[in-house]
Amino acid sequence: MKLPKGLAGVVVDQTKVSSTKNAVLTYAGYPIKELKDASFEEVVFLLWHTRLPSSDELTAFRKRLVSEMVLPDHTVQLIARIAKEPQHPMSILRTTVSLLGTTNDVKRDDPPRILAKMLTAIAAIIRIRDGKPIEQANQNWGVVKNFVYLFSGEQPTAERVKMFNTVMVLHADHEFNASTFTARVVASTKSDDYSCLTAAVCALKGPLHGGANERVFEMLEAIRETGQDPVGYVNEQMARGRKIMGFGHRIYKDGDPRAVILRVIAQKISQETGNDEYFALQEQIREYMFKKTHLHPNVDYYTALIYHCFNLDKKTFTMMFAACRTAGWLAHVIEQQTEGCLIRPSSEYVGETNRHYPNKEG
């Protein structure tokens, strides 16, 4: 039996969390284009419970998440030590997630506490690496406003909160992508939640998955710094057999619906922050790539510029992806653990056969 490369299109299990059927992204049945203005807390609740919360439930859920956006002192001390290491931030995060599961002040974390700790830890890593003090969450703010404040040290405007909220919602889940499937495999063994998240972070680190956003901005920087014509740059890279990051998607052949929404945000925030030159480069590349290859931008393409406009170092872009995707990872971990079935596929052996170990006696 010949399988599609990378198991593309192969259905391996069922889920109620999200779907990309017919190239339409939905969360528990709700189209992403309708959820783009929903609060992040609403979307997290939806992913975890497969229904929208009532007004009272949302208020209580938001309050619970924000109340947990604090780390034990000894956890902060250990993160402060490893965050200063020269490794890539995703390597720091990989170790930090495992650390969160071993340095605790309660017997067992539940999903709300885990998500809150992940957001707080990621913000702490950014602050420590920038040589700045760790901030404290404001109990009167929502999750997104607090998160932006925790990693930036500045109280964001309502407009910026709305922008980042949309970014977090669009990145919250995407059915059985590489990192999510990795988390589900670990969850199927009945391992703990932090082991599942650590494995997911390892998968997300790769440039063909979450790491693509960093490569997108590296491309934009290279073009701007050298003054090279963007079309010439793209042609040169493709002539060398290099992939142009931020384009194409296995599922969305006619365009990633998330990229359509993010493009509007990227254009607006780039103008407001004096980064419109980068957006202009993106537009030239987008138009040429479609003409040359018929490929559309994916979720990473405009996210890279948006993160830059929030004054984030490009090396932290994939960590931000992890901050958003933790909600979806946990939703799938919950679902997989409830299912209670070990994921153990078989393989087709295509190596040598009928070989025998030489008899060395005599």
Write down the pTM of the prediction: 0.93
pLDDT exceeds 90 at position 106 = no
Q: Which of 249, 296, 308, 332 is the catalytic position?
A: 249
Q: Residue type for 215, please?
A: R
Q: Which of 109, 173, 256, 300 is the catalytic position?
A: 300
Q: Is 296 exposed, middle or buried (0-12, 13-18, 19+ CB in 10 A)?
A: buried
User: Could you tell me the pLDDT band of residue 6, with boundaries at 50, 70 and 90?
Assistant: low
Q: Is 158 exposed, middle or buried (0-12, 13-18, 19+ CB in 10 A)?
A: exposed
Q: How far apart are CA 79 and CA 286, in angstroms?
A: 39
Q: Residue type for 104, please?
A: N
Most confident of 149-153, 210-214, 347-351: 149-153
Cβ 60 vs Cβ 293: under 8 Å: no
- Where b means 16+ CB within 10 Å and e means fewer, 315-329 reads bbbbbbbbbbbbbbb
Q: Residue type for 168, please?
A: M
Does residue 243 or residue 150 have the better pLDDT? 150
pLDDT exceeds 80 at position 3 = no
Phi and psi at 19, nearest 5°, equal: -150, 150
pLDDT exceeds 60 at position 218 = yes
pLDDT exceeds 90 at position 332 = yes
Percent of the chain with pLDDT over 90: 82
pLDDT exceeds 90 at position 322 = yes
What pLDDT does 340 receive?
A: 85
What pLDDT does 9 receive?
A: 64
User: Could you tell me the pLDDT band of residue 326, with boundaries at 50, 70 and 90?
Assistant: very high
Cβ atoms within 10 Å, residue 264:
13
In 3D space, the residue among 244, 255, 224 whose CA is nearest the CA of residue 292 turns out to be 244
In 3D space, the residue among 245, 261, 221, 253 whose CA is nearest the CA of residue 301 turns out to be 245
Does residue 294 or residue 359 have the better pLDDT? 294
Nearest 10 degrees: CA dihedral of 65, 67, 68, 74? 160
Phi and psi at 250, nearest 5°, equal: -60, -35
Domain 23-208+314-339 part of CATH 3.30.420.40: no
Q: How far apart are CA 325 and CA 303, in angstroms?
A: 14
Strand 30-31: give its sheet, edge to edge: 18-19, 26-27, 30-31
Task: Please give the helix or strand (H or E) that residue 18 lies within, else none.
Answer: strand 18-19
Q: How far apart are CA 317 and CA 305, in angstroms?
A: 10
pLDDT exceeds 60 at position 362 = no
Annotated catalytic residue 37? no
Alpha helices in the chain (DSSP H): 32-35, 40-49, 55-67, 73-83, 89-100, 111-129, 143-152, 158-171, 178-188, 193-204, 212-226, 230-239, 257-272, 276-293, 299-309, 317-339
Phi and psi based region of residue 23 (left: phi greater than 0; alpha: psi -120 to 50; beta: remaining): left
Annotated catalytic residue 130? no
Q: How many residues does the chain have?
A: 362
Q: How far apart are CA 279 and CA 289, in angstroms?
A: 15
Supply the mean pLDDT for the chain. 93
Pick the CATH number of 212-309 from 3.40.30.10, 3.30.70.1230, 3.40.50.2300, 1.10.230.10: 1.10.230.10
pLDDT exceeds 70 at position 119 = yes
User: Could you tell me the pLDDT band of residue 24, with boundaries at 50, 70 and 90?
Assistant: very high
Q: Is 207 exposed, middle or buried (0-12, 13-18, 19+ CB in 10 A)?
A: middle
What pLDDT does 315 receive?
A: 95
- Segments making up each domain of the chain, as ranges: 23-208+314-339, 212-309
Q: How far apart are CA 280 and CA 220, in angstroms?
A: 10
Measured at the alpha carbon of residue 238, what is the angle toward residues 233 and 241, in degrees to the nearest 5? 135
